[in-house]
Amino acid sequence: MEKFVTLSAIAAALPEANIDTDKIIPARFLKTTQRTGLGKHAFDAMRYLPDGTENPDFVLNRQPWRKAEILVTYDNLGCGSSREHAPWALLDFGIRCVIAPSFADIFFNNCFKNGILPIRLPREICDELMGDAQMGSNARLTVDLPRQVVIRPNGEEVPFEIDAFRKHLLLEGLDDIGQTLHHEGSIATYEQRQDQAKSWLPTIHFD
């Protein structure tokens, strides 16, 4: 996983609530066995017209937002399906940071696993950042993870919260399986205890 430390990039505003993961990547594109290559289908229904050509009105089809790496939306971003194809599609498009007043739980988790930083900020602040995101070639925000601030084009710094463990994984670009395997002893102890306490718990074997 790529590290996330600081990011200074074009921000795009998608002023909608409840942007679901079907909207981020429709189910018919989930038939891949790879993590990459989904960027061209990110926001497919909004991005392309029925004849397959680009919708010129959609923000990510316009300059400078074709190169956006930060996305600002309203509440409950990523609701619906647990598909990690949603953050994969965003990442493949080039998005490294998503900012919203609230996120659906599974999508929020999935972002971290892919080096995308999801930031929760109040609705009023998201409105201000959306304003910044509409400043054409000046639509740049800077995200400083070590200091936990978003820096607006006017220099104002907006602080945000993040769990210490998740911050550490992002800053170092660490795979959390490796981290958990450091606790192998605890897992083995738990399994022994469980085997005794719940001897009725069946395992699954097919003939």
Partner 1 sequence: MAARTLFDKIWDDHVVETLPDGTSILYIDRHLVHEVTSPQAFEGLRLAGRKLRHPERTVAVVDHNVPTSDRSQPIEEEDSRNQIETLERNVKEFGVPYFPLLSANQGIVHVVGPEQGISLPGMTIVCGDSHTSTHGALGSLAFGIGTSEVEHVMATQTILQRPAKNMRVNVEGTPGAGVSAKDIMLAIIGHIGTAGGTGHVIEFAGSAIRGLDMAGRMTICNMAIEAGARAGLVAPDETTFEYVRNRPFAPKGEAFEQAVAYWKTLSSDEGAHFDREVTLRAEDIGPTLTWGTSPETVLAITDTVPDPAQIEDEAVKTQMQRMLDYMGLQAGQKIAGTPVDVVFIGSCTNSRIEDLRMAAQIAAGRKVAPGVRAMIVPGSGNVKRQAEEEGLDRIFLDAGFEWREAGCSMCLGMNPDRLTPGQRCASTSNRNFEGRQGPGGRTHLLSPAMAAAAAVTGCLTDVRELA
Binding track, positions 159-178, relative to partner 1; x by CB under 8 A: ----xxx----------xx-
| DSSP string for residues in 67-117 | G--EEEE-SSBTBS---THHHHHHHHHT--EEEES-B-HHHHHHHHTTT-E
If one asks whether residue 26 binds partner 1 (CB under 8 A), the answer comes out as: yes
Please check whether residue 88 is in contact with residue 35, taking contact to mean a CB–CB distance below 8 angstroms.
Answer: yes
Cis peptide preceding 56, ω within 30 of 0: no
If one asks whether residue 49 binds partner 1 (CB under 8 A), the answer comes out as: no
If one asks whether residue 181 binds partner 1 (CB under 8 A), the answer comes out as: yes
Part of the chain binding partner 1 (CB under 8 A), chosen from 56-64, 89-97, 145-153, 199-207: 199-207
Among 41, 83, 96, 140, binds partner 1 (CB under 8 A): 83
Among 6, 8, 138, 180, binds partner 1 (CB under 8 A): 180
Cα–Cα distance measured from residue 199 to residue 55, given in angstroms and rounded to the nearest whole number = 60
Smallest separation (angstroms) from partner 1 to the CB of 140: 24
Smallest separation (angstroms) from partner 1 to the CB of 50: 7
- The continuous run of DSSP H or E covering 170 comes out as helix 164-172
Part of the chain binding partner 1 (CB under 8 A), chosen from 51-59, 78-86, 141-149, 151-159: 78-86
Q: Kindly give the pairing relationship between strand 117-120 and strand 140-144.
A: unpaired
